[in-house]
Amino acid sequence: MSSADEVRTTLEEWAGHRHLSLTVVFTDIVKSTQIGSALGDTKWIDDLSKHFAQARSLAASYDCHIVKVIGDSVMMVFRTPTDAVNFALAFCDGNGN
């Protein structure tokens, strides 16, 4: 998973300060190992790519920074807990709004 926003700045550059309180959010596909085994590699990679694309697209709507991808998860930070919760709710809805 890569995007211009991820490559463009480091976390410190994005945050604007070295000492700052941020809210961390992880996306996750529950039971991903079982799902991947059941779907097979091709379908699983397609679904995983959609998961990452949805996270990236929705993240662009918020002032957040994608820190890294860890397996089937995306780790990102938000300046406020409200933005983090709103992102998480929209992500779970799957509609981006």
pLDDT tens figures, 58-90 = 988 988 999 999 989 999 999 899 999 999 999
pTM: 0.74
What CATH number does the domain located at 4-90 have?
3.30.70.1230
Q: Are 27 and 50 in contact (CB under 8 A)?
A: no
Domain extents for the chain?
A: 4-90
Residue with tokens 């190992």: 33
Q: Are 23 and 84 in contact (CB under 8 A)?
A: yes
Q: In angstroms, what CA-CA distances link 2 with 5, 20, 40?
A: 8, 25, 24
Is the pLDDT higher at 14 or at 78?
78
